C-alpha cells in the first residue's frame, strides 16, 4: 500500500511553470487546480477555448492570485501542436513540468487531420510530438519533469504495427488500450534516452485508476453520460477525479522519484486509492518494442529528438 499521500503534502510550487494538456475537465482540471493552489504558473493547453475560458474563470475565482494562461492545443492536429509550441516559445523561455494528460477514449472509428487513427494519433502521437517540441525549453530547468498518463487499459494490450491506422479493422476498446500502452512505453523510453543524453529532465508515467471523468461518456467528452453508463460507472466503483489526479501530482512533484517510475493508486488492482510506484508493469518494458515504437512515432510525426 501507499502512504496516504494527498495534495496537503505536495510541496509549494512557486517558481514552477507547468503545461497541462486537456486541463478543462476531469483529471486535467484537478491537476491544474492543485498546481494553482500551490502557487505554480499554470498553462492550460486546451482544444475547446470556450470551455477553457470557463475553467480559467472558475480557477481564478477559487484562487484569485493564481497565475493562469489559456492556450489552444489540438493534439489530433500536428499543425496545431507546432503552433502551440511556437506561441509558447514567444511567450516563455522555459518550462518546468509537462503533463501529458489529454486523451480520447473509445470513440467510433475516426482519423485525425494527419490520417492517424484518432486514439493512437491524439493520445500517443500528439503527445510524442508535443514533448519533442517542448523539451528544449526544459533543458536547463532544475527538477524539470515530463509526466505522461497511461491507464489500467494496458492490461492485455499490444501494439499492432501492421494496423496502427485501423484500416484493417477497428475495435475501439482494443485501440484505446494500444494508445495507452504506447503512452506507458513512451514515458519509459523517453526517460532512458534523457539519461543517455545526460539531460537533467526526467520522464515518468502515471495512471488514475478508475476515475469518474467525462472519458466515460463517449470518449470525447462531447456527450453526457447516459443512465446505463452511470450504472456501469457505479458498478466499477470508480473514485473521484480529484483522487484520480493524485498519481499524476505525485509523479510530477515528489522529490524521491528519480525518473522512469510509473505511479498509480495503491488499492487492489490499481483501481483506486492513494499514489504509489507501480512495479507491476516492469515486464511490459521490452527494449525492442519501445525502440520500434519510438522510431515509428518519429517517422509518423516528423519530430526527431534525443537521437
Catalytic residue ranges: 170
Q: What's the sign of the alpha-carbon dihedral 94, 143, 210, 55? A: negative
Distance (Å, rounded) from C-alpha 140 to C-alpha 201?
8
Residue 282 has, within 13 A of its CA and on its CB side, a CA count of: 5
Distance (Å, rounded) from C-alpha 262 to C-alpha 168?
32
97 forms beta bridges with 18, 145
C-beta separation of 74 from 112 below 8 A: no
Distance (Å, rounded) from C-alpha 45 to C-alpha 204?
20
Q: Which residues contact 58 (CB under 8 A, 6 or more apart)?
A: none
- What φ, ψ does residue 62 adopt, rounded to 5°? -75, -35
**Strand, helix or coil for residue 146:** strand
10 Å Cβ neighbour count for 58?
A: 12
C-beta separation of 186 from 120 below 8 A: no
Amino acid at each position: 500500500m501507499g502512504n496516504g499521500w494527498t495534495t496537503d503534502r505536495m510541496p509549494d510550487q512557486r517558481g514552477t511553470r507547468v503545461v497541462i494538456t486537456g486541463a478543462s475537465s476531469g483529471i486535467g482540471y484537478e491537476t491544474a487546480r492543485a498546481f494553482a493552489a500551490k502557487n505554480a504558473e499554470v498553462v492550460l493547453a486546451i482544444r475547446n477555448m470556450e470551455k477553457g475560458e470557463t475553467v480559467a474563470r472558475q480557477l481564478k475565482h477559487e484562487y484569485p492570485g493564481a497565475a493562469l494562461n489559456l492556450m489552444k492545443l489540438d493534439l489530433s492536429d500536428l499543425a496545431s501542436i507546432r503552433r502551440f509550441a511556437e506561441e509558447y516559445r514567444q511567450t516563455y523561455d522555459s518550462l518546468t513540468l509537462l503533463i501529458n494528460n489529454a486523451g480520447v477514449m473509445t470513440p467510433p472509428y475516426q482519423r485525425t487531420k494527419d490520417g492517424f487513427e484518432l486514439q493512437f494519433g491524439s493520445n500517443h502521437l500528439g503527445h510524442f510530438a508535443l514533448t519533442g517540441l517542448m523539451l528544449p525549453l526544459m533543458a536547463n530547468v532544475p527538477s524539470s519533469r515530463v509526466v505522461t498518463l497511461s491507464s489500467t487499459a494496458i492490461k492485455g494490450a499490444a501494439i499492432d504495427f501492421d494496423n496502427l491506422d485501423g484500416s484493417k479493422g477497428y475495435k475501439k476498446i482494443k485501440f484505446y488500450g494500444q494508445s495507452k500502452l504506447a503512452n506507458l512505453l513512451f514515458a519509459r523510453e523517453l526517460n532512458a534516452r534523457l539519461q543517455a543524453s545526460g539531460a537533467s529532465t526526467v520522464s515518468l508515467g502515471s495512471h488514475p485508476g478508475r476515475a469518474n471523468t467525462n472519458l466515460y461518456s463517449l470518449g470525447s467528452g462531447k456527450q453526457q453520460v447516459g443512465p446505463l453508463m452511470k450504472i456501469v460507472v457505479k458498478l466499477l466503483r470508480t473514485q473521484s477525479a480529484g483522487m484520480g489526479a493524485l498519481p499524476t501530482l505525485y509523479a510530477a512533484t515528489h522529490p524521491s522519484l528519480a525518473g522512469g517510475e510509473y505511479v498509480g493508486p495503491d488499492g487492489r488492482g490499481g483501481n483506486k486509492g492513494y499514489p504509489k510506484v507501480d512495479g507491476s508493469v516492469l515486464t511490459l518494458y521490452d527494449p525492442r518494442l519501445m525502440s520500434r515504437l519510438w522510431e515509428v512515432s518519429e517517422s509518423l510525426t516528423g519530430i526527431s529528438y534525443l537521437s
